[in-house]
C-alpha cells in the first residue's frame, strides 16, 4: 500500500498534471489550426468560383445577347460545384442568378451566416467590369463538412488525450517506482542497523548518482558513529578499571586497619594512606568528568582576551613550591611585551599545569625545567622543557591517548592516571592550537603549544573544564 506522503505518488501526480496541461494546450492549438486551414481552403474555393463566373461573363458577354444571358448563366451554374449558391447581378442591379438566401449588406468580403439550420461561408459583393458594365457576384459554401471534420477531430482529441495521460501516468509511476526502489532498500537496511551492529554497512549502488552518494554518506556517518561509540565504550571500560584499583586499595587499607586492635599511630598511618588514595581518586574522577563533558560537548568554552604572560607567571609561581620540594630548578623565560590571545583563561591555566606537573613528575631531583613564551612570526609558542627521563620514540605518538602511561608503575607512584595530556590536547584543540611532544630518551622532553593567528578567531564548542 502506497503511503499518502509517497514521493512516487507526488512525482506521478506532478508529471501527469504537467503532461495534461501540455496536451490540453496542444489540443486547443491543433483544433484552432485545423479550423483556420479548413476555412482558408473554403475561402480559396469561393474565390475560384467567383473568378470562374467573371471569366465566363467576359467570355460570353459579347457572343450572347443580353436576353439570353440569364439562361446561359443558369446552365453554367448547374455545371459548377454548389452552383445553386451563386449570385450574379447585372449593372442595373437585377439578379441574373440568385441564391436561396439574401446576402448581408456591406463591403465586399467573407462572412458566415446561418440559414435553415445550416452555416454558410459567404464571399459577397465582388464587383468587376465586363464590357463597360459593373457586375456584382457573390458565392456561398456549405460549412457542414468543416463542422464534421472539426467534430471528428474533437472526438479524436477527447479519446487520445485521456489515453495518453493514462499510459503516461502508469509509465511514470512505474519508472519512479523503479528509480526509487534503491531508496526503499536503503531505508530497510538503515532501519536494521542499531547500536549493537554499527559495523554493518549499506550496500552502495554503483550508479554514480544521488543514491550512490546517499549510501556513501550513510556509511561514512556509520563509520564515524562506530568510532565514537567504540571510543566511548573503551573510555568507560578504562575509567571503571582505573576506578577499581584505588577503591579496592581504600577498602583493603580500611579492612586491614579494622581487623584487630592497633596503636593510634597505625590507625593514623592507615587513614593517611586512605586519604592519599582518596585524593588521587577524586583527581581521577575530576579528570574523567572533564573528558566526559568534552565528549558530550556540553557547553562552549567562553573566550575572552587572555594575557599569556600573566597566566604563565602565575601558574609557574604556584608550581614553584612543588618543584623546589623535588629539588628542581624552575625557570621562566618571557618576552618583554605582553602576549594577549583569544582564549579561556581557566582552560589555558589547566593546560600549563598539566605540562608543568608532568615535567616535575618525570624529572629526577637536581634537574631543570624551563617554561618559555615566545612571539613567533606566525603566532605564539608556549614551551615546557625538562631534563627528565624523556619518552621513548615508540611511546611518543601515544602519550596524548587517554589512560596511556609510558611507565604505568612510575606514573601511578607519582599520582598520575594517564589523562593529563588528553585534557591538555583537548584544551589546545578548543583553541585551535597545536600541541606537540619531542623527547630525547634519558635527557628530557619538550612540550610545545602553538597558537596561530587564525586559531584565535572564534570559540569552538567545547565544554568548560571545571
Ligand atoms: P600521567 O597522569 O600518567 O602523567 P599524562 O597524560 O599527563 O598522564 O601523560 C601520559 C604519559 O606521558 C605519562 O604517563 C608519562 O609516561 C608520559 N609523560 C608525560 N609528560 C612527560 C614528561 N615531561 N617526561 C617524561 N614522560 C612524560
Q: What is the pLDDT along the chain (466 residues), one digit of tens a residue?
A: 455 558 888 888 999 999 999 999 999 999 999 999 999 999 999 999 999 999 998 888 888 887 788 888 888 888 888 888 999 998 888 888 988 888 888 788 999 999 989 999 999 989 988 888 899 999 999 999 889 999 999 999 999 999 999 999 999 899 988 888 888 888 888 889 888 888 888 888 888 888 889 889 999 999 999 998 998 888 889 889 889 989 999 999 999 999 999 999 999 999 999 999 999 899 999 999 888 888 776 556 889 999 999 999 999 999 999 999 999 999 999 999 999 999 999 999 999 999 999 999 999 999 999 999 999 888 999 999 999 999 999 999 999 999 999 887 777 777 788 999 999 999 999 999 999 999 999 999 999 999 987 644 445 545 444 4
Measured distance CA(27)–CA(160) in Å, rounded: 10
403 lines ligand 1 (CB under 6 A): no
* Residue 197, CB-side half-sphere exposure with 13 Å CA sphere: 9
Taking phi over 0 as left and psi of -120 to 50 as alpha, with beta for the rest, 64 belongs to: beta
SS3 letters across 197-227: HCCCCCCCCCCCCHHHHHHHHHHHHHHHHHH
Ligand 1, atom nearest to 447 Cα: 23
Residue nearest to atom 16 of ligand 1 (CA): 406
Q: How far is ligand 1, taken at its centre, from the CA of residue 399, in Å?
A: 6
Which domains does the chain show, CATH number per domain? Answer: 7-155 (3.30.450), 210-294 (1.10.287.130), 300-456 (3.30.565.10)
The H or E element spanning position 329 is strand 329-333
The CA 416 to ligand 1 mean position distance, Å, reads: 8
Distance 332 CA to ligand 1 centre (A): 21
Q: Tell me which of 287, 369, 421 to substitute to probe ligand 1's pocket, judged by most ligand atoms within 8 Å of the beta carbon.
A: 421
The pLDDT value recorded for residue 321 is 94
Q: What pLDDT is attached to residue 465? A: 45
Q: Tally Cβ neighbours within 10 Å of residue 158.
A: 11
Amino acid at each position: 500500500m502506497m503511503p499518502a506522503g509517497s514521493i512516487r505518488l507526488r512525482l506521478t501526480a506532478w508529471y501527469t498534471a504537467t503532461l495534461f496541461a501540455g496536451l490540453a494546450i496542444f489540443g486547443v492549438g491543433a483544433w484552432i489550426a485545423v479550423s483556420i486551414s479548413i476555412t482558408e481552403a473554403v475561402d480559396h474555393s469561393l474565390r475560384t468560383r467567383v473568378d470562374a463566373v467573371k471569366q465566363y461573363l467576359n467570355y460570353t458577354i459579347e457572343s450572347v445577347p443580353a436576353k439570353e444571358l440569364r439562361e446561359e448563366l443558369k446552365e453554367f451554374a448547374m455545371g459548377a460545384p454548389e452552383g445553386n449558391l451563386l449570385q450574379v447581378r447585372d449593372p442595373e442591379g437585377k439578379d441574373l442568378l440568385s441564391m436561396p438566401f439574401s446576402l448581408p449588406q456591406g463591403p465586399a468580403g467573407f462572412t458566415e451566416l446561418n440559414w435553415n439550420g445550416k452555416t454558410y461561408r459567404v464571399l459577397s459583393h465582388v464587383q468587376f467590369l465586363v464590357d463597360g458594365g459593373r457586375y456584382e457576384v457573390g458565392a456561398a459554401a456549405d460549412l457542414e463538412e468543416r463542422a464534421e471534420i472539426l467534430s471528428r477531430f474533437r472526438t479524436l482529441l477527447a479519446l487520445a488525450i485521456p489515453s495518453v495521460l493514462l499510459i503516461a501516468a502508469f509509465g511514470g509511476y512505474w519508472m519512479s517506482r523503479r528509480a526509487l526502489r534503491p531508496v526503499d532498500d536503503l531505508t530497510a537496511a538503515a532501519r536494521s542497523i542499531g547500536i549493537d551492529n554499527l559495523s554493518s554497512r549499506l550496500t552502495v549502488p554503483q550508479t554514480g548518482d544521488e543514491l550512490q552518494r546517499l549510501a556513501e554518506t550513510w556509511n561514512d556517518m556509520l563509520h564515524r558513529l562506530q568510532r565514537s561509540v567504540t571510543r566511548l565504550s573503551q573510555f568507560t571500560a578504562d575509567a571503571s578499571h582505573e576506578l577499581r584499583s584505588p577503591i579496592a586499595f581504600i577498602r583493603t587499607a580500611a579492612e586491614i586497619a579494622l581487623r584487630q586492635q592497633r596503636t593510634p599511630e597505625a590507625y593514623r598511618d592507615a587513614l593517611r594512606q586512605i586519604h592519599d588514595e582518596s585524593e588521587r581518586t577524586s583527581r581521577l574522577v575530576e579528570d574523567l568528568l572533564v573528558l566526559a563533558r568534552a565528549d558530550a560537548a556540553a557547553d562552549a568554552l567562553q573566550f575572552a582576551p587572555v594575557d599569556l604572560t600573566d597566566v604563565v607567571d602565575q601558574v609557574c609561581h604556584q608550581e614553584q613550591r612543588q618543584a623546589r620540594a623535588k629539588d628542581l630548578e624552575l625557570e621562566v623565560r618571557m618576552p618583554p611585551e605582553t602576549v594577549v590571545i583569544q582564549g579561556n583563561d581557566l582552560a589555558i591555566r589547566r593546560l600549563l599545569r598539566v605540562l608543568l606537573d608532568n615535567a616535575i613528575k618525570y624529572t629526577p631531583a637536581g634537574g631543570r625545567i624551563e617554561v618559555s613564551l615566545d612571539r613567533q612570526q606566525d603566532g605564539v609558542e608556549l614551551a615546557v622543557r625538562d631534563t627528565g627521563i624523556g619518552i621513548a620514540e615508540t611511546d611518543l605518538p601515544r602519550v596524548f591517548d587517554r589512560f596511556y602511561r609510558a611507565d604505568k608503575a612510575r606514573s601511578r607512584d607519582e599520582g598520575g592516571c594517564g589523562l593529563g595530556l588528553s585534557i591538555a590536547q583537548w584544551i589546545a584543540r578548543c583553541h585551535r592550537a597545536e600541541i606537540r611532544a619531542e623527547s630525547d630518551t634519558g635527557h628530557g622532553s619538550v612540550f610545545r603549544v602553538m597558537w596561530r593567528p587564525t586559531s584565535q578567531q572564534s570559540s569552538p564548542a567545547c565544554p568548560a573544564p571545571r
